Amino acid sequence: NTSRAVLVSVHVDTIHVTAGGSDNTASVGIAIELTRNVASLGAKDPEALRNAAFIVVFSSAEEEGFMGAHGVVTSHPWFGEVRCVLNLEAMGNGGPHRMFQTTKGGASAELLAMWSEAAVRPSGSVLSSDVFNTGLIKSDTDLRVYRDFGDVAGFDFAFLENTHLYHTPGD
């Protein structure tokens, strides 16, 4: 298989006590801007995107057990083409959108190297991956579904500052 599909995943739901400014409306805006940039690149240089696909998923039910992402992995006909998932999240409402978690094995190390070389100002750490894997944090993201059920390499990006406002009316 020679496909090179990248899937950008962003959930559109939030919890009932918040308007969801960072979790996850700001990430929806980032996904839309990424789409605009990829379309602009394709218009300028069609060869740059030949044999590649850029898929954006706006899922629901992330806050209810990752059901939207699970549905994409298990039933969407395009999912078999996906080689990398970029999941856009929030765990606070400030700071840059940082990479805070990556999958292990497979193409993960190669993708991490590509990202760190290509990003204008790469910001993040994979240490959170180990913390999440211990079970100490009783939370997770859609990336777990893409990893566990879809066997796809990927990254989580999130706002990590002002965590005291996460899932509160202050978001």
Q: Would you name the residues annotated as active-site residues?
A: 62
Beta carbons within 8 Å of 83's beta carbon, 6+ residues apart: 3, 4, 5, 6, 107, 152, 153
Cα separation of 78 and 55, whole Å? 9
Report yes or no: 9 and 59 within 8 Å, Cβ to Cβ: yes
Residues linked to residue 59 through DSSP beta bridges, in sequence order: 11
Counted residue by residue, the chain has a size of 171
Helices of type H across the chain: 27-44, 67-75, 108-118, 127-134, 142-148
Q: Which residue matches tokens 């990556």?
A: 102
Residue 159 sits at φ, ψ, to 5 deg, of -80, 125
Report yes or no: 57 and 145 within 8 Å, Cβ to Cβ: no
